[in-house]
Every structure is written in C-alpha cells, then in structure tokens.
Amino acid sequence: MMISPEGYYEEYLKGKTKEQIMTAIRGLKQEIGHLKNIMERPDYGVEPSIHPSEDTRIYWSREYLERAKLAYDEVGGTYLLSKSEKKAVDFDAKMDAICRITFSIGGYFGGYRSYVVELSDDIKAYTKLWEDEEPLLLLDDDNKGPFAKDTFVAALKNLRIGEWRRRYSTKRFGYEVCDGTQWKLEFEYKNGHKPVKFDGDNSYPYNFDKFQMLFGIYDTEEDENE
C-alpha cells in the first residue's frame, strides 16, 4: 500500500538537510524514469502483473516528488528545473494555444487511420481513414457530443505529454521489428509557435493507452490480433 505525501514527508524528509532532501528528489525522479522504462518495453505485460502496478507507483512517486520539492524550499533551497522538466512545463504552458491535434496510427497492411481534434470554443473531434473520406464525429464518454474544450485540455495535461520522448523505437531496448504499427502525433498552435511532433515505430509512451482513449480508441493492438 502506498502512503500519503504527508506520510512520506514524515517518514523520509522531516528534519533532513537540503542535501538529504535533494538526494531524495533525485531518487524519486530516477524511480519515475525507471518505471516508465519498464512500461515502455516491448515485452511489458508478458510477466504477471505486480501490485501496486507501475502506473500506480508512478502516480504516487510524482506526489512524493512534489512534496519533496516543497520540503526543499521549506529548508531554504531553491529547486531548479532540469532541462526535461523545463520542456514539459513549456509544453503545458502552451496548451491553451493548441488549435489542432492530428494523431495517425496503423501499419502497411492494415492502413492508417487519422484522428483529428480541432480546438476552438466549439470543439470538433473526428476520425478519417482516407483523405477524401467523410469525417466521423467522435463523441465524449457520455455520447452526448464532442468533448468540451476545457475538459479535453485538462485530460491532455493529466497525460503529461510534455514529458514524452519525441521518438519511440524498439531499438532503444535492443529489439528490431519489421512492419508492425507506426504512429504520429502533431500539435498545431494558433499563436504562431511551430508544431510539436511525436512519433513511434512499434514503441509507445508508458501511458499511450490512456492517450488513445481521448480519441475514442479503446482496443489495443493485442486485442486486434486475437
């Protein structure tokens, strides 16, 4: 069972020096990175799942990390963001300026499907298999209509996409996969900022399934092959 952030503080941080708290901060960041790597491996899910799951441990490690940063400030430290943290903060800061999101996924033999979200006051979300295909409107979880913009943006922020790698490949883990599934994700902005792009070849971010759910995609690649 995971303890609360305050419980973590009481047990591991209370009374510690700046240096000791910074050591704890580094350890939590390394733990989050380690857990992400486990979930992003091509063979993830083959072994019996453990409890709490990696996803749950990531969530609580983030909570502990935020409490540790606060504790660091409380003892007179000034926490400085790392390069990767700055990138994530910058991505989130521009979230309200996103005007269009295009997500494409598929393979050579099965074809590719594109999902598009146009973010305006009247949000439009649709999917297309071919360029000349009539768009199919995507509905929210209640099937009452497209997501409200604020709801969709909040869901995006919860995914922490700014922390994603720009490219995912099985080569990172020493695997070579031919064909299979490729995906691309592009964010376009209304304030003139250049588009931000992510892509992958048979390799995915640790929370990719949750991301796909925003586009109404609930079947995993494994389900499709059964």
What integer is the mean pLDDT of 185-193? Answer: 94
Compute the distance between CA of residue 94 and CA of residue 157 in angstroms, rounded to an integer.
Answer: 11
CA–CA–CA angle 62, 64, 65 (5° rounding): 60
Residue 133's alpha-carbon distances to 95, 113, 121, in angstroms, are 29, 11, 25
Q: Which residues of 151-174 are buried (b: 16+ CB within 10 A; e: fewer)?
A: ebbeebeebbbbbbeeebebeeee
* Residue range of the domain that includes 14: 5-80
Residue that terminates a domain, selected from 50, 80, 110: 80
Split into its structural domains, the chain has a count of: 2
Whether residue 159 is found in the same domain as residue 190: yes
pLDDT score, position 88: 95
Closest CA to 202 of 40, 1, 20: 40
Mean pLDDT of the chain: 87
Whether residue 52 is found in the same domain as residue 100: no
Q: In this model, does residue 205 exceed pLDDT 90? A: yes
Q: In this model, does residue 128 exceed pLDDT 90? A: no
Closest CA to 145 of 123, 117, 116, 127: 123
Whether residue 210 is found in the same domain as residue 176: yes
Q: In this model, does residue 132 exceed pLDDT 80? A: no
86 in a structural domain: no
Whether residue 76 is found in the same domain as residue 97: no
Residue that terminates a domain, selected from 28, 46, 80: 80
The amino acid present at 69, given as its one-letter code, is K
pLDDT score, position 112: 84
What digits encode the pLDDT tens for the residues 44-54?
988 777 789 99
156 in a structural domain: yes
- pTM score, whole prediction: 0.86
Whether residue 130 is found in the same domain as residue 199: yes
pLDDT score, position 127: 76
67 in a structural domain: yes
Whether residue 31 is found in the same domain as residue 139: no
Whether residue 158 is found in the same domain as residue 216: yes
Paired tokens of 181:
């599934």
Whether residue 198 is found in the same domain as residue 96: yes
Residue that terminates a domain, selected from 51, 80, 109: 80
pLDDT score, position 177: 80
Whether residue 95 is found in the same domain as residue 21: no
85 in a structural domain: no
What digits encode the pLDDT tens for the residues 140-182?
555 555 667 888 889 899 999 999 999 999 999 998 887 789 9
